Structure 1
């Protein structure tokens, strides 16, 4: 059974996200910082009459932000989603494509970088390139755990 994936980059790493988990891939130009928020919370943004909590995926995973800075002329790439009744914009380095993958995801084998262990769920192959499969819900769960710590 084939599945549809959004292909993107997070912290310089090729990733794939099931399209069932997302609403859209957008560019956010106006992100308002929230004083006292953790480093992985880039701020708030308004899009389509909704307020999004903007989470910097690279900052959450690696501790360093690599997405376009808020307010940049072109805006920052974000994956828009609703999880638990809340709207989020997940900042990514870039969005590459949306593709249908015929083969099922492969289990993670071997050693991967420790920073990706809590986030990568599986691997897909597309045009000879391996991509980690990320779950938005799991990523946001890590976000709330990081805030609680």
Structure 2
């Protein structure tokens, strides 16, 4: 379905991710740190016999991490690699028939880097985000 989106929160902001990009949603267990990794890479986790690179979305946006306790992650596959995007919460998958609209507000730099449009759902504005830009992190985006 081309109008299906996963609705989640990152740093208290409601976001939408196109469902075609989402492999699964998981609760993460142990995360092994990776020495010398960029700050937004929380570490590595095992997922169904695969290695999952865990990305702290808050850190990737330039915020301090607030997540405590169990971590929920949206699993994305890019170029054969699996990434777990740690989000605050996951609402559900929703069909949103209206096309994404341009962003008409001034966004903080981290959000401006990953946002590709706005969607409205049940009277709430959702930022439509590009997970690949989120995975790149702030440092890599500045170097490009």
Residue matched to 1:94: 89
- The 5 Å alignment of 1:96-115 reads 96-115=91-110
Shift of 1:110: 2.8
TM-score normalised to structure 1 length? 0.88
Kindly state the Cα deviation for residue 136 of structure 1 after the two structures are TM-superposed: 1.1
1:81 equivalent to 2:81? Answer no
1:137 to 120, 132, 137: 132
Which runs of 5 or more residues in structure 2 are unaligned? none
Matched residue of 2:31: which SS?
A: coil
Q: Is the 8 A contact 1:31 1:45 kept in 2?
A: yes
TM-score, with structure 2 as normaliser = 0.90
Rounded to whole Å, the distance in 1 between the matches of 2:60 and 2:67 is 12
Cα offset for 1:144? Answer: 7.0
Q: Tell me, yes or no, if the aligned pair for 2:110 and 2:138 is still in contact at 8 Å.
A: no
How many residues are matched?
144
Structure 1 residues 86 and 21: alpha-carbon distance in aligned structure 2, compared to 1, 3 A threshold: same
> Is 1:120 aligned to residue 96 of structure 2?
no
CA distance in 1, matches of 2:142, 2:36: 11
The verdict on how the C-alpha distance between 1:86 and 1:2 changes in structure 2, with shifts beyond 3 A counting, is: closer
Counterpart-to-counterpart distance in 2, 1:41 and 1:29: 16
